[in-house]
């Protein structure tokens, strides 16, 4: 699954019908785990099933990314509210992670890896393991949207103002305010991505686009 995701993120599977036999040969593994990985990527939204004729990269959909932002905002806010108070040592980890995101400008995949690590560190105190796993899946689904904007719109990195507002609230001991700031951050980013898609920028970047909700 990770190997296929890496091919997707590098743009090596765009526009092609994906077959488990061809991918298995390319990756040097048997067909069964490849098919399981492809079906899992259909479940999480990165791929679409082509009615028994293989798989294809799912088109980017402005409605989907808005909906994902709404879900992520609500659930990450919930996870932070459920978390134990954030220790000073973890606040320092979060601060360093923000600096690393800023320093990685120009390397889209590294920026997204660091951003994922920041969210994981922020919510590691949430006692609901199933919720944390679900959030990881959702962030994985949004990742290709963010990559599309960073590459297609020529942006060098992610804005970290929202991260810093969350951190400032945590340093003030106001976890509820931090959760609200997190929700706002996770709603505003997908709205921006959806606007970029709606304006038709993907066509210029060679990225497939859907006109409706999936």
Average pLDDT over residues 49-71: 86
Q: What is the largest CA-CA distance in the chain?
A: 55
pLDDT tens, residue by residue, 134-174: 999 899 888 888 888 887 766 677 889 999 999 999 999 99
Average pLDDT, the chain: 86
159-190 residues labelled b (16+ CB within 10 A) or e (exposed): ebebbebbbebbeeeebeebbbbbbebbbebb
pLDDT at 209 exceeding the cut of 60: no
pTM exceeds cut of 0.85: no
Question: Which pLDDT score is estimated for 15?
Answer: 65
The predicted pLDDT at position 201 comes to: 53
Q: Is the pLDDT of residue 31 over 80?
A: yes
């Amino acid at each position: 699954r990770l190997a296929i995701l890496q091919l997707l993120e590098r743009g090596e599977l765009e526009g092609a019908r994906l077959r488990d036999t061809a991918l298995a040969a390319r990756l040097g593994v048997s067909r069964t785990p490849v098919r399981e990985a492809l079906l899992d990527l259909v479940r999480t939204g990165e791929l679409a099933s082509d009615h028994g004729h293989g798989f294809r990269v799912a088109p980017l959909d402005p409605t989907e990314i808005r909906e994902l932002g709404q879900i992520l905002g609500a659930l990450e806010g919930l996870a932070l509210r459920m978390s134990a108070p954030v220790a000073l040592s973890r606040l320092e980890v979060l601060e360093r992670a923000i600096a690393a995101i800023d320093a990685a400008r120009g390397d889209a995949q590294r920026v997204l890896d660091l951003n994922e690590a920041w969210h994981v560190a922020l919510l590691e105190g949430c006692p609901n393991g199933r919720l944390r796993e679900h959030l990881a899946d959702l962030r994985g689904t949004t990742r290709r949207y963010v990559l599309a904007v960073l590459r297609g719109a020529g942006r060098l990195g992610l804005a970290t103002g929202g991260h810093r507002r969350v951190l400032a609230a945590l340093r003030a001991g106001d976890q509820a305010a931090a959760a609200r700031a997190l929700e706002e951050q996770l709603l505003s980013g997908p709205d921006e991505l959806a606007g970029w898609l709606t304006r038709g920028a993907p066509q210029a970047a060679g990225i497939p686009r859907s006109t409706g909700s999936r």
